[in-house]
């Protein structure tokens, strides 16, 4: 495999047809990552974030990626680091399972397409009974779910998130009760991650804070992205209501 230089990232970005949001984050150099390719024709690509999240793209019949993929997995085992591999095709699923045999755990997820027309016609939550705030360093320190460790894992550093990402929360008596943050963001996309305090569920807070997130995306020419496990019926229901349609199944592989 050939390590791709950053000056080629704009070319690859135009070349790929579909990918997880974190791939575009790498290509826009918002988060730290590495891209490998088989040849200058970009037939096969491997994307790798600093935190250990991978995505394989292109022609799965090519063998040039095999060694690099196995090497990355072995290094993750050796260094006791994260290994999370995204695959959007059955051909890649077969190859991954052949290469790494029974060393992986497979999880199936959905990625959705955002339909702004559906979103604009849905009934909004209207009046909010809790204060809406943009995520700040202070709020991160008081978050139940999206704390400093979270941003260091997905954004390399909290400071990078505060500079290049965004998020919102609902606050009740100085307590964060619901949050929606960009787990990944590129120049065109923002993937949403939501948390609601278990003591405040059932009030429509997730829907309310998600609308704030989506409205921010639309105001800033960003396409909101929604992914979830195929078994997460609550997330599927909420996403559908918010205009996320045509779920496409993909696989994630992690270390056993």
pLDDT at site 160: 98
Q: Are 50 and 61 a contacting pair, CB within 8 Å?
A: no
Residue 60 and residue 48: Cα distance in Å, rounded?
17
**For the chain, what is the radius of gyration of the CA atoms?**
19
Q: Are 52 and 254 a contacting pair, CB within 8 Å?
A: no
Residue 32: pLDDT band by 50, 70, 90 thresholds? Answer: very high
In 10 A of CB 108, how many CB atoms?
A: 12
What mean pLDDT do residues 31-35 have?
Answer: 97
* Dihedral angle over CA of 226, 231, 235, 241, nearest 10: 90
Residue 141 shares a structural domain with residue 33: no
b/e burial code for range 23-38 (CB count within 10 A of at least 16 → b) = bbbbbbebbebebbbb
Which domain, by its residues, includes 104? 2-112
Q: What are phi and psi of 29, to 5 degrees?
A: 60, 35
* H or E segment to which residue 228 belongs: strand 227-229
Percentage of residues in the chain having pLDDT higher than 90: 83
Residue 119 shares a structural domain with residue 241: yes
Total domains, the chain: 2
Is 252 within the bounds of a domain?
A: no
pLDDT in tens, 44-89: 999 999 999 999 999 898 878 888 999 999 999 999 999 999 999 9
Residue 38 shares a structural domain with residue 27: yes
Residue 102 shares a structural domain with residue 120: no
pLDDT in tens, 220-241: 999 999 999 999 999 999 999 9
Is 256 within the bounds of a domain?
A: no
pLDDT at site 126: 56
Last residue of a domain, one of 80, 112, 144: 112
pLDDT at site 2: 87
Last residue of a domain, one of 70, 89, 112: 112
Residue 40: pLDDT band by 50, 70, 90 thresholds? Answer: low
The CA-based angle 190-27-111, given to 5 degrees, is 40
Residue 24 shares a structural domain with residue 67: yes
pLDDT at site 193: 98
CATH of the domain at 8: 3.40.630
Model-level pTM? Answer: 0.94
């Amino acid at each position: 495999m050939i390590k791709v230089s950053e000056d080629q990232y704009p070319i690859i970005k135009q070349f790929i047809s579909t990918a997880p949001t974190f791939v575009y984050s790498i290509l826009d150099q918002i988060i730290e990552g590495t891209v490998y390719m088989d040849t200058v024709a970009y037939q096969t690509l491997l994307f790798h974030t600093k935190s250990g999240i991978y995505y394989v793209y292109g022609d799965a019949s090519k063998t040039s990626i095999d060694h690099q993929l196995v090497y990355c997995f072995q290094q993750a085992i050796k260094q006791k680091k994260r290994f999370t591999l995204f695959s959007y095709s059955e051909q890649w699923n077969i190859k991954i399972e052949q290469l790494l045999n029974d060393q992986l755990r497979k999880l199936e997820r959905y990625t959705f397409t955002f339909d702004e027309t559906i979103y604009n016609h849905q009934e909004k939550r209207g009046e909010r009974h809790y204060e809406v705030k943009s995520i700040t360093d202070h709020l991160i320190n008081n978050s139940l779910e999206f704390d400093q460790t979270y941003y260091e894992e997905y954004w390399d550093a909290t400071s990078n998130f505060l500079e290049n990402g965004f998020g919102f929360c609902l606050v009740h008596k100085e307590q964060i009760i619901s949050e929606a943050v960009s787990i990944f963001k590129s120049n065109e996309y923002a993937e949403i991650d939501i948390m609601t305090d278990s003591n405040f569920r059932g009030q429509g807070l997730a829907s309310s804070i998600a609308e704030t997130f989506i409205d921010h995306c639309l105001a800033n020419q960003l396409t909101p992205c929604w992914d979830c496990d195929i078994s997460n019926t609550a997330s599927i229901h909420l996403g559908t209501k918010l205009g996320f349609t045509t779920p496409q199944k993909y696989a994630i592989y992690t270390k056993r």
